């Protein structure tokens, strides 16, 4: 399979090059991950972020693990080393289920082939699987876009939270993919982007990539969303997801829940755009979704500037859970589903 190169990531066959999202939009820097440890650090430190992008990155990390151990003659040892690789990659971030989904997919290819193929052949199959995950992600996002854009009217203004765009996926995006597809279909769509404190994915990344694509974008701080809705400026909210439970509860970037409550209050549809790989039917409901807590300095500092008294207590959950009753519809690559979610989610997997 051909190597892949997008704005977010490039697989060279020997390494994974990632755009360093920590510096955007001020600087366009790249990091080259030459081994699986580099990949693990890049996910943990948010060089790369966004559920589908994390999944694809981890898959390439797994391949780098295999390549590192390719000269081992003992298959048992090869398997053991890859088990360790998987464990290290899976400990990077807990909430986005795409990470575990991608690693399980890689492990399945490994286990199905290790007994009757050489280590070299298995490594090649693993590389093909990671590339497949990456290429599929783009196709899936385009299908999500197509299904979702039917929900938007010409002239609509959409509010989005965090970054569920090309940068959060291999390319095209989920929530922003829906907006892209509507624009590609000739609809005039405007976007309001929440800045998304504390990490500012909206202000730094969503605004950057939408402006690059020529989509009319207005930035607001998170606490303005309610007032903007009250003024009648928003026709729909579209966000991505890090994990959707079997009952349709949605974990996404902190602040999503508040936006969903506000949308309900103002009678605005609240859509979640996500691939099937983000739906975790092993997780019964939102209470079971692990919510990552990140370093308090993300709240204390804006870049290198401390904004608050040094000793202040900080609570920094990176995600929240929006209960399914606030979700108007979930836009997947298969179809758009609505309540009752549990029944309709299970049907997606039949
Ligand atoms: O902490 P992040 O930046 O990885 O969080 C990203 C989000 O919450 C996105 O909305 C989600 O992963 C969907 S990306 C298509």
Helical axes 98-113 vs 75-90, angle rounded to 10°:
170
The Cα-based distances of 269 to 2, 154, 157, 159, 261 in angstroms read 40, 16, 12, 10, 11
Distance 122 CA to ligand 1 centre (A): 32
- Among the candidates 86, 109, 141, a domain finishes at 141
What is the residue-level pLDDT of the chain in tens, covering all 350 positions? 999 999 999 999 999 999 999 999 999 999 999 999 999 999 999 999 999 999 999 999 999 999 999 998 899 999 999 999 999 999 999 999 999 999 999 999 999 999 999 999 999 999 999 999 999 999 999 999 999 999 999 999 999 999 999 999 999 999 999 999 999 999 999 999 999 999 999 999 999 999 999 999 999 999 999 999 999 999 999 999 999 999 999 999 999 999 999 999 999 999 999 999 999 999 999 999 999 999 999 999 988 899 899 999 999 999 999 999 999 999 999 999 999 999 999 999 99
The Cα-based distances of 128 to 4, 13, 40, 59, 115 in angstroms read 11, 10, 20, 10, 18
Ligand 1 atom showing the smallest separation from residue 274 Cα: 15
Same domain, 106 and 121: yes
Same domain, 191 and 300: yes
In this prediction, residue 21 carries a pLDDT of 98
* DSSP 3-state of 98: helix
168 CB near ligand 1 (under 6 Å): yes
Ligand 1 atom showing the smallest separation from residue 273 Cα: 15
Sequence-distant (6+) residues with CB within 8 A of 32 are 15, 16, 17, 38
**Would residue 4 count as lying in a domain?**
no
Distance 184 CA to ligand 1 centre (A): 24
Same domain, 222 and 257: yes
Which residue owns the Cα nearest ligand 1 atom 10?
Answer: 240
174 CB near ligand 1 (under 6 Å): yes
201 CB near ligand 1 (under 6 Å): yes
- CATH number, domain at 258? 3.40.50.10470
In this prediction, residue 243 carries a pLDDT of 98
Same domain, 67 and 211: no
Distance 235 CA to ligand 1 centre (A): 22
Distance of alpha carbon 58 from alpha carbon 106, whole angstroms = 9
In this prediction, residue 245 carries a pLDDT of 98
CB 238 within 8 A of CB 148: yes
Distance of alpha carbon 19 from alpha carbon 8, whole angstroms = 6
50 CB near ligand 1 (under 6 Å): yes
Phi, psi of 238, deg, nearest 5:
-130, 125
**Would residue 3 count as lying in a domain?**
no
98 CB near ligand 1 (under 6 Å): no
Instruction: Tell me if the bond preceding 102 is cis, omega within 30° of 0.
Output: no
Cα 248–251–255 angle (5° rounding)?
Answer: 125
Question: By residue range, what is the domain housing residue 67?
Answer: 9-141
Same domain, 122 and 189: no
Helices (H) then strands (E): counts for the chain: 11, 16
CB 330 within 8 A of CB 248: yes
Cα 23–28–12 angle (5° rounding)?
Answer: 110
To test the pocket of ligand 1, the residue of 43, 97, 162 to mutate (highest count of ligand atoms within 8 Å of its CB) is 162
**Would residue 221 count as lying in a domain?**
yes
167 CB near ligand 1 (under 6 Å): no
**Would residue 53 count as lying in a domain?**
yes
**Would residue 114 count as lying in a domain?**
yes
Same domain, 338 and 217: yes
278 CB near ligand 1 (under 6 Å): no
Which positions are annotated as active-site residues?
A: 242
Q: Among candidates 73, 65, 57, which has minimal Cα distance to 6? A: 57
In this prediction, residue 303 carries a pLDDT of 83
Same domain, 135 and 184: no
**Strand locations in 59-141 (E):** none
Same domain, 42 and 188: no
Ligand 1 atom showing the smallest separation from residue 54 Cα: 4
Number of domains present in the structure of the chain: 2
Distance 64 CA to ligand 1 centre (A): 24
**Would residue 265 count as lying in a domain?**
yes
Same domain, 112 and 220: no
Distance 81 CA to ligand 1 centre (A): 30
- CATH number, domain at 120? 1.20.120.420
Cα 90–94–100 angle (5° rounding)?
Answer: 45
Distance of alpha carbon 270 from alpha carbon 239, whole angstroms = 8
**Would residue 2 count as lying in a domain?**
no
* DSSP 3-state of 180: helix
The length of the chain, given as a count of residues: 350
Same domain, 48 and 157: no
Ligand 1 atom showing the smallest separation from residue 96 Cα: 12
Distance 161 CA to ligand 1 centre (A): 9
In this prediction, residue 20 carries a pLDDT of 98
Give the torsion sign (CA, 276, 222, 198, 173): positive
DSSP 199: T
**Would residue 126 count as lying in a domain?**
yes
51 CB near ligand 1 (under 6 Å): yes
Same domain, 119 and 214: no
Same domain, 159 and 99: no
- Among the candidates 108, 141, 174, a domain finishes at 141
Give the torsion sign (CA, 240, 190, 219, 328): negative
In our burial notation (b when 16+ CB lie closer than 10 A, e otherwise), range 180-207 reads bbbbeeeeebbbbbbbbbbbbbbbbbbb
- Among the candidates 141, 161, 179, a domain finishes at 141
């Amino acid at each position: 399979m051909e190597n892949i190169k997008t704005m977010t990531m490039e697989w060279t066959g020997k390494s994974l090059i990632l755009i360093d999202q920590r510096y955007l939009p001020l600087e366009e820097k790249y990091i080259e991950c030459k081994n699986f440890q580099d990949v693990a650090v890049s996910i943990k430190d948010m060089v790369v972020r966004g559920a589908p992008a994390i999944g694809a990155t981890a898959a390439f990390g797994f391949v780098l693990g295999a390549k590192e151990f390719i000269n081992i003659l003992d298959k048992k040892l090869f398997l053991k080393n890859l088990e360790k690789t998987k464990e290290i990659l899976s400990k990077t971030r807990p909430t986005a289920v795409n990470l575990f989904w991608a690693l399980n997919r890689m492990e399945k290819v490994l286990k199905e082939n290790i007994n009757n193929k050489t280590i070299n052949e298995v490594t090649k199959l693993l590389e093909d699987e990671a590339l497949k995950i990456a290429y599929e992600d783009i196709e899936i996002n385009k299908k999500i876009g197509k299904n979702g854009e039917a929900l938007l009217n010409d002239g609509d203004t959409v509010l989005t939270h965090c970054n569920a765009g090309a940068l959060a996926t291999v390319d095209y995006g989920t929530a922003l993919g829906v907006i892209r597809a509507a624009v590609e279909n000739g609809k005039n769509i405007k976007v309001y982007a929440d800045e998304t404190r504390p990490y500012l994915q909206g202000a730094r990344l969503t605004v950057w990539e939408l402006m690059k694509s020529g989509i009319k974008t207005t930035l607001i701080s998170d606490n303005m969303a309610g007032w903007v809705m009250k003024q009648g400026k928003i026709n729909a909210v579209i966000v991505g997801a890090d994990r959707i439970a079997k009952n349709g509860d949605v974990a996404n970037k902190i602040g999503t829940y508040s936006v969903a409550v506000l949308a309900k209050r103002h009678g605005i549809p609240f859509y979640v755009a996500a691939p099937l790989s983000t739906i975790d039917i092993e997780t019964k409901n939102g209470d079971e979704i692990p919510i990552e807590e990140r370093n308090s300095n993300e709240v204390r500092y804006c870049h290198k500037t401390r904004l608050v008294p040094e000793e202040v207590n900080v609570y920094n959950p990176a995600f929240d859970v929006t209960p399914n009753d606030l979700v108007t519809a979930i836009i997947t690559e298969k179809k758009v589903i609505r309540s009752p979610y549990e029944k309709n989610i299970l049907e997606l997997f039949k």
